């Protein structure tokens, strides 16, 4: 590929995730986006084809059993000359570090909010993560076909709770049974709502401006109220500003219904125009530009393969620069080894894609037999630089592992090491005793770990809750402070799976007191890989 072709291909990419509180409509919206993209191919489907139907891993049975998807899939589809890479995050109400790390691999996010419920607990957490990198966010207020809360109140809540300015792009003309359409605040057009278009692409029913005869007819006795409301909305809300959106300071807001497939096209049309193409990525040495000709990228997720007999894993790599070609030779930053990428799974689904090679912004899946870890960086130029911003998050849930058979200690340690490298769970070893503690963000992580330890490593263990409030990774300014900390706070001190000193606080107060006592020690809520 010439440099110009490469630049053009990269410029077409839009790599993003949909985030929401469970039940807000993420899955439904994803389906509709794929409908417009006219293509679907998910990571699971690609792998199923490769390994054959019979080889489904038992632990995948856990997913089926619980009716959930533990894995993060990648879906690539074309839309209006762009190539969209949609990274799905687990849809179950329980969530895990995977969700967070997926956000490290995207350039923007689409936030779905249930119009009847407004900002919910998970929305707040996900926004905190997006804020770490000032990820641009586009908001879709869903379920306008139901009775919802007052739209102005919803915008106000987003601004207040999520601390981001809102710029409505369209405005709902009614809601629930009274939903007539959406008013395009920028283009002074009305999109008429047609019921029953859920499973197909609806006709594009546009009426001209609010003052038009068609609008008067549609709105009938509500016309005067709508005029007044729209005037109020224009006066009381922020105007859209592309730079503010790209800097994560402002979110354009769209209303609609994913189930009714209304407002989705308008959302997608603007999304592909405004959402950023692949962005430069920071390493610990320099910023890597997507258009650099040499391939580079990092692993943000590792998924156990479907066939446990082979202990094969699929590492999901975000390409940060250049192109991937079969047989590419790259240096793995952590080990310094040269690795040949003989085969990669790509998630191309569209027929219109010009190349079968993947470029910056794309995600590829690499088969890894334990040689790759989350956060691993790869460089065709042979650079040792490490991409930053793929953190571990301080776990909030803890379990003590106790073995039924002490002779299984070796197998347990090996299993936990691998699962920790995959990012399935975090492991902590307190300095005061021989306990092994597991830390997670979502309860489901423990279930997956218990299942896999039993299934793949034949380790039977009990997992008891322990009274720990949270973990903080410690950075000491100097050796004397570290020595004093170790003397005074040894009760909560532990070493994590990557040998980093960690403090396991018994309560919020305990943590606050210690932070006060050791003002020069950094208590970090995230740790880079």
**Both tokens assigned to 277:** 């193409």
**Residue with smaller CB distance to ligand G4P, 126 or 246:** 126
Asked if 106 is part of the footprint of ligand G4P (rule: CB under 6 A), the reply reads no
Residue pair 399/437 in contact (Cβ under 8 Å)? The answer is yes
| Least distance in angstroms from the C-beta of 116 to ligand G4P | 9
For 161-184, the three-class secondary structure string (H helix, E strand, C coil) is HHCCEEEECEEEECCHHHCCEEEE
Pick the piece of the chain touching ligand G4P (CB under 6 A) from 138-146, 147-155, 204-212, 346-354: 138-146
Asked if 142 is part of the footprint of ligand G4P (rule: CB under 6 A), the reply reads yes
Asked if 471 is part of the footprint of ligand G4P (rule: CB under 6 A), the reply reads no
Asked if 28 is part of the footprint of ligand G4P (rule: CB under 6 A), the reply reads yes
| Least distance in angstroms from the C-beta of 126 to ligand G4P | 12
Pick the piece of the chain touching ligand G4P (CB under 6 A) from 149-157, 204-212, 254-262, 466-474: 254-262
Position among 91, 174, 187, 350 found at the interface with ligand G4P (CB under 6 A):
91
**Residue with smaller CB distance to ligand G4P, 257 or 373:** 257
**Residue with smaller CB distance to ligand G4P, 19 or 401:** 19
Residue pair 110/138 in contact (Cβ under 8 Å)? The answer is yes
Residue pair 109/137 in contact (Cβ under 8 Å)? The answer is yes
Give residues with Cβ within 8 angstroms of 437, minimum separation 6. 398, 399, 400, 401, 427, 428, 429, 430, 466, 468, 494, 504
Pick the piece of the chain touching ligand G4P (CB under 6 A) from 60-68, 117-125, 141-149, 330-338: 141-149
- Name the residue among 47, 38, 41 with its Cα closest to residue 88: 41
Task: Report the DSSP pairing between strands 74-79 and 82-87.
Answer: antiparallel
Asked if 109 is part of the footprint of ligand G4P (rule: CB under 6 A), the reply reads no
Asked if 23 is part of the footprint of ligand G4P (rule: CB under 6 A), the reply reads yes
Asked if 280 is part of the footprint of ligand G4P (rule: CB under 6 A), the reply reads no
| Least distance in angstroms from the C-beta of 37 to ligand G4P | 17
Phi-psi region of 306 (alpha: psi -120 to 50; beta: other; left: phi over 0): alpha
Asked if 259 is part of the footprint of ligand G4P (rule: CB under 6 A), the reply reads yes
439: helix, strand or coil: strand
**Residue with smaller CB distance to ligand G4P, 122 or 325:** 122
Question: How far is Cα of residue 142 from the mean position of the Cα atoms in its chain?
Answer: 19
Residue pair 377/284 in contact (Cβ under 8 Å)? The answer is no
**Distance (Å, rounded) from C-alpha 37 to C-alpha 18?**
15
Position among 15, 20, 76, 148 found at the interface with ligand G4P (CB under 6 A):
20
Residue pair 485/517 in contact (Cβ under 8 Å)? The answer is no
**Residue with smaller CB distance to ligand G4P, 20 or 379:** 20
Residue 262 DSSP symbol: B
Pick the piece of the chain touching ligand G4P (CB under 6 A) from 180-188, 246-254, 255-263, 308-316: 255-263
Residue 259 DSSP symbol: T
| Least distance in angstroms from the C-beta of 306 to ligand G4P | 23
Asked if 421 is part of the footprint of ligand G4P (rule: CB under 6 A), the reply reads no
Residue pair 374/422 in contact (Cβ under 8 Å)? The answer is yes
Asked if 270 is part of the footprint of ligand G4P (rule: CB under 6 A), the reply reads no
38: helix, strand or coil: coil
| Least distance in angstroms from the C-beta of 76 to ligand G4P | 20
Asked if 143 is part of the footprint of ligand G4P (rule: CB under 6 A), the reply reads yes
Number of residues that bind ligand G4P (CB under 6 A): 17
Asked if 174 is part of the footprint of ligand G4P (rule: CB under 6 A), the reply reads no
452: helix, strand or coil: helix
Asked if 68 is part of the footprint of ligand G4P (rule: CB under 6 A), the reply reads no
Asked if 257 is part of the footprint of ligand G4P (rule: CB under 6 A), the reply reads yes
Q: Answer positive or negative: Cα dihedral of 222, 227, 232, 233.
A: positive
Asked if 117 is part of the footprint of ligand G4P (rule: CB under 6 A), the reply reads no
- Name the residue among 415, 381, 384, 380 with its Cα closest to residue 401: 415
Asked if 148 is part of the footprint of ligand G4P (rule: CB under 6 A), the reply reads no
Q: What are the strands, taking DSSP E only, across 287-326?
A: 287-288, 296-304, 313-321, 323-324
| Least distance in angstroms from the C-beta of 167 to ligand G4P | 22
Position among 117, 146, 222, 291 found at the interface with ligand G4P (CB under 6 A):
146
**Residue with smaller CB distance to ligand G4P, 30 or 502:** 30
Asked if 71 is part of the footprint of ligand G4P (rule: CB under 6 A), the reply reads no
| Least distance in angstroms from the C-beta of 115 to ligand G4P | 8
Asked if 260 is part of the footprint of ligand G4P (rule: CB under 6 A), the reply reads yes
**Residue with smaller CB distance to ligand G4P, 264 or 505:** 264
C-alpha dist (Å) from residue 93 to 28, 133, 419: 15, 24, 22
**Both tokens assigned to 122:** 């998970």
**Residue with smaller CB distance to ligand G4P, 361 or 442:** 442
| Least distance in angstroms from the C-beta of 256 to ligand G4P | 7
Asked if 395 is part of the footprint of ligand G4P (rule: CB under 6 A), the reply reads no
Asked if 27 is part of the footprint of ligand G4P (rule: CB under 6 A), the reply reads yes
C-alpha dist (Å) from residue 413 to 5, 40, 375, 435: 48, 39, 21, 12
**Residue with smaller CB distance to ligand G4P, 263 or 395:** 263
Cβ-count burial 88-110 (b if 16+ within 10 Å, e if not) = bbbbbebbbbbbbbbbbbbbbbb
Residue pair 10/321 in contact (Cβ under 8 Å)? The answer is no
**Both tokens assigned to 143:** 């379920």
**Distance (Å, rounded) from C-alpha 418 to C-alpha 84?**
32
**Residue with smaller CB distance to ligand G4P, 91 or 350:** 91
Q: Which residues bind ligand G4P (CB under 6 A)?
A: 20, 22-28, 91, 142-143, 145-146, 257-260
């Amino acid at each position: 590929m010439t440099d110009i072709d490469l630049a053009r291909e990269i410029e077409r990419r839009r790599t993003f995730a949909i985030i929401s509180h469970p039940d807000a409509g993420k899955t439904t919206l994803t389906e509709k986006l794929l409908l417009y993209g006219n293509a679907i191919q998910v990571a699971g489907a690609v792998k199923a084809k490769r390994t054959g139907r019979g080889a489904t891993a038992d632990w995948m049975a856990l997913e089926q059993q619980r009716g959930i998807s533990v894995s993060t899939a990648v879906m690539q589809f074309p839309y209006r000359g762009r190539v969209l890479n949609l990274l799905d995050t687990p849809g179950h109400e329980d969530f895990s570090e995977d969700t967070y790390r997926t956000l490290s691999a995207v350039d923007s996010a689409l936030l779905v909010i249930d119009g009847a419920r407004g900002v919910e607990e998970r929305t707040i957490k996900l926004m905190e993560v997006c804020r770490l990198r000032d990820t641009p966010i586009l908001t879709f207020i869903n379920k306008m076909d139901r009775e919802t809360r007052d739209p102005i109140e919803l915008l106000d809540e987003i601004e207040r709770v999520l601390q981001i300015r809102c710029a409505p792009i369209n405005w709902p003309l009614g809601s629930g049974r009274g939903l007539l359409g959406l008013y395009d605040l920028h283009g002074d057009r009305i999109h008429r709502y047609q019921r029953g278009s859920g499973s197909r692409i609806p006709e594009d029913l546009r009426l001209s401006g609010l003052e038009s005869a068609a609008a008067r007819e549609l709105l009938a006795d509500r016309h005067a109220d709508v005029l007044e409301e729209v005037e109020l909305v224009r006066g009381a809300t922020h105007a859209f500003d592309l730079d503010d959106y790209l800097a994560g300071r402002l979110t354009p807001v769209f209303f609609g219904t994913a189930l009714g497939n209304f407002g989705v096209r308008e959302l997608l049309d603007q999304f592909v125009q405004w959402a950023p193409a692949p962005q430069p990525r920071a390493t610990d040495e320099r910023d890597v530009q997507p258009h650099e000709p040499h391939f580079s990228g990092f692993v943000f997720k590792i998924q156990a393969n479907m066939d446990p007999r082979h202990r094969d894993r699929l590492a999901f790599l975000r390409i940060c620069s250049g192109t991937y070609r079969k047989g590419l030779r790259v240096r793995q930053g952590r080990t310094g080894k040269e690795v040949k990428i003989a085969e990669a799974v790509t998630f191309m689904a569209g027929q219109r894609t010009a190349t079968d090679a993947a470029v910056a912004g794309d995600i590829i899946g690499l088969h890894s037999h334990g040689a790759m870890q989350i956060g691993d960086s790869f460089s065709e130029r042979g650079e040792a630089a490490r991409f930053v911003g793929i953190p571990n998050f301080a776990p909030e849930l803890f379990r003590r592992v106790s073995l039924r058979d002490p002779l299984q200690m070796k197998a347990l340690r090996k299993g936990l090491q691998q699962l920790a490298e995959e990012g399935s769970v975090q492991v902590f070893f307190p300095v005061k005793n021989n306990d092994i503690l597991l830390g997670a963000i979502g309860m489901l992580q423990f279930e997956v770990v218990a299942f896999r330890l039993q299934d793949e490593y034949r380790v039977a263990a009990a997992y008891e809750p322990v009274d720990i409030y949270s973990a903080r990774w410690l950075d000491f300014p100097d050796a004397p402070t570290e020595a004093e900390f170790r003397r005074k706070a040894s009760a909560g001190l532990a070493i994590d799976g990557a040998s980093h000193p960690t403090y396991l606080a018994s309560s919020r107060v305990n943590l606050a007191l210690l932070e006060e006592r050791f003002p020069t020690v950094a208590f970090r809520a995230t740790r880079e890989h």
